Amino acid sequence: MKPLQIFINGRWTDSVSGNHFATINPATMEEIAQVPRGDKADIDKAVEAARAAFESEEWKNFLPADRGRIMHEIARLIREQKEELIQLETRDTGKPLAQAAVDVEVAARYFEYYAGVADKILGETIPIRSDVLDFTLREPLGVTAHIVPWNYPIQIAARSLAPAFAAGNTSVIKPAEDTPLTALRLAAICEQAGMPKGTVNVVTGYGSEAGAALAAHPDIDHITFTGSVDTGTEVMKAAAVNIKPVTLELGGKSPNIVFEDADLEEAAQWVVRSIIQNTGQTCSAGSRLLVERSIYSSFTSMVKANMEKLRVGAGEDNPDIGPIISEKQLQRIESYMEVAQKERATILLGGKRCEEVGNGFFFEPTIIDGVTTDSRLAQEEIFGPVLVVLPFDSPQEAVKIANDTAYGLVTGVWTSNIHKAHWVASRVRSGQVFVNNYGAGGGVEMTFGGYRKSGFGREKGLEALKYYTQVKNVAIKFQI
């Protein structure tokens, strides 16, 4: 199999070292492609290209409306090539075809959404005195670095590339080593859509090599990172040395809070959906279920019944639940089952590998009961289809438990009482709150980001543009 190439300065090229690595389908262990193992030398070239593009007269004179046109064209091309992109994403991540289809459409939506705003990034005039015109310019930062995780490869690459490009930055993307394929295809689409050379560069490689080199590069102007708290900490440290701003999206331990007065049928369906989407490998997964004690056992049974119906399988067969991304991640999930056993928690459902499905990395949908709030099971991001259930006796206690982790990404509230809904929404510490839904379709328009260790900076929506621009104040004194 001929290795793929990376995309630097508008050209497809091998890595400087000539090394590459295999990417596999986690449902079958089949090798899909050989991918360049980019490292510091390639990152240096990519940043140099992005810098040269950013400083070029061509880019300075590029009309914002033309950036918007290119982005509309990218959205069109993503949709035109969607069948191929869906297949590629499914094979690389193992995720069900239906989920990959959503991801590809959302990627197109990011470009479409920010295309519309490329020529509407406005400054303001500030009244000072009659002989001074004071105004602000919202300018691009320069070269933006994008370190992308493996759970939503094309969606998350698009999520930050689109606003960065709309605002006039040039970019270097480092996809995750487990799932590099759709980022390379996205680069090809950007090229086809007419992005000027050097404005987008994609370097595949390992986190400890290419990722670390990109985070530590002195000539980047911003880093967007999505992934683990530990790696986010390393990225932030590297950025601190060069005084570079970061946007960190570091996952969560998000609760669904279910009150006895909720539409329980509806809530039970959403609770399941929010934990099994992408096999629980979702930063905003609803991984804690907080249930009012009066309905604790009946509601937990409803959730269990819904979860029992789910089909685990290879993404290409479009099951409800696909595989875990890698052996490393699967072992990590298994280590939490050992914690459950040690703590004498009750595994109500699942709790082990799903070997009958095939030789991929499959894990059964799992529910764990009898967990204390300070248990690692209730505190840490497991990143698998593992739901932990906890009872509460009052809205106050529900909020206390909801806020009792280091994270704060999303909260789901299920109640028919508007007062209770507002009260809880006002008191939980999380970047998003959903009442009687979870995710609201995952919209690109909604501000998204974490409180506390879930990270900082905001993505999606118009809010994201603030993180890809900087404000210059200009004061002009005039007289005749």
By CB under 6 A, the residues from 243 to 302 that bind ligand NAD are 249-251, 283
Tell me, letter by letter, the H, E, C secondary structure of 180-205.
CHHHHHHHHHHHHHCCCCCCEEECCC
- Considering the candidates 177, 249, 292, 364, report the single residue annotated as catalytic: 249
The binding track of 406-435 with respect to ligand NAD, each residue x by CB under 6 A or -, is ------------------------------
Q: Is 176 in the site for ligand NAD (CB under 6 A)?
A: yes
Binds ligand NAD (CB under 6 A): choice among 151, 366, 405, 432: 151
Contact by Cβ (8 Å): 218, 240: no
- Considering the candidates 48, 112, 209, 283, report the single residue annotated as catalytic: 283
Interface segment toward ligand NAD; rule CB under 6 A; list 127-135, 149-157, 370-378, 412-420:
149-157
Q: How far is the CB of 187 from ligand NAD (least distance, A)?
A: 16
Q: Is 149 in the site for ligand NAD (CB under 6 A)?
A: yes
The vertex-468 CA angle with 136 and 183, nearest 5°, equals: 155
446-450: long-range contacts (C-beta < 8 A, 24 or more apart)?
448/249, 448/284, 449/247, 449/249, 449/409, 450/248, 450/249, 450/250, 450/252, 450/407, 450/408, 450/409
Residue 190 designated active-site: no
- Element (H or E) spanning 471, and its range? strand 469-477
At residue 354, what are phi and psi to the nearest 5 degrees? -110, 80
Q: Which is nearer to ligand NAD, 215 or 312 (CB)?
A: 215
Q: Which is nearer to ligand NAD, 303 or 410 (CB)?
A: 410
Alpha-carbon distance 198 to 217, whole Å? 17
Binds ligand NAD (CB under 6 A): choice among 235, 290, 340, 421: 235
Interface segment toward ligand NAD; rule CB under 6 A; list 37-45, 173-181, 296-304, 429-437:
173-181
DSSP β-ladder status, 20-24 and 11-13: unpaired
Using Cβ positions, the residue closest to ligand NAD within the complex turns out to be: 207
By CB under 6 A, the residues from 313 to 342 that bind ligand NAD are 329, 332
By CB under 6 A, the residues from 194 to 233 that bind ligand NAD are 207-208, 211-212, 215, 226-228, 231
Number of neighbouring beta carbons within 10 Å of residue 221: 20
Give the single-character DSSP code of 4: -
Alpha-carbon distance 394 to 373, whole Å? 16
Q: How far is the CB of 293 from ligand NAD (least distance, A)?
A: 30
Which tokens hold the place of 163? 């606003």
Residue 283 designated active-site: yes
The binding track of 457-476 with respect to ligand NAD, each residue x by CB under 6 A or -, is --------------------
Q: How far is the CB of 234 from ligand NAD (least distance, A)?
A: 4
Q: Is 383 in the site for ligand NAD (CB under 6 A)?
A: yes
Mind giving me the DSSP string for 314-325?
A: -GGG--SB---S
Q: How far is the CB of 156 from ligand NAD (least distance, A)?
A: 7
Give the single-character DSSP code of 138: E
Per-residue buried b or exposed e for 302-327, using 16+ beta carbons within 10 Å of the residue's own CB = bbbebbeebebbbbbebbbbbbbbbe
Q: Which is nearer to ligand NAD, 151 or 469 (CB)?
A: 151
Q: Is 75 helix (H, G, I), strand (E, B) or coil?
A: helix
Interacting residues with ligand NAD (CB under 6 A): 147-151, 174, 176-177, 207-208, 211-212, 215, 226-228, 231, 234-235, 249-251, 283, 329, 332, 381, 383
Catalytic residues: 249, 283
